[in-house]
Amino acid sequence: MSCARILVSGLVQGVYFRYYTVTRARDLRLQGWVRNLPDGHVEAEAVGEKGLIEDLIKELRVGPPGSQVTGVDVRWLPEDPEYKSFDVRHF
């Protein structure tokens, strides 16, 4: 199991980016969360098989229709927190 903290920049709020992230993560059977940040970024934490997390990251680089992703920063974390699902969190 692996864990990644993902920070997405660009036009990623107000375009259903969190819903898109939740749907894709659940399809990949990942656990974790996604949230909007006050500075306009979207932040996510994904736990699961590393290859599946990398698949999610590829999808987040594209985003849903209407979004304009300009950057995706990934930080692999040493610990694997336990989550029961993949959900939206509020800042």
pLDDT in tens, 23-79: 999 999 999 999 999 999 999 999 999 999 999 999 999 999 999 999 999 999 998
Domain 2-77 is found in CATH 3.10.129.10: no
Question: What integer is the mean pLDDT of 76-90?
Answer: 92
Catalytic residues: 18, 36
Amino acid at 40: G
pLDDT reported for residue 80? 76
Question: What integer is the mean pLDDT of 4-31?
Answer: 98
pLDDT reported for residue 79? 82
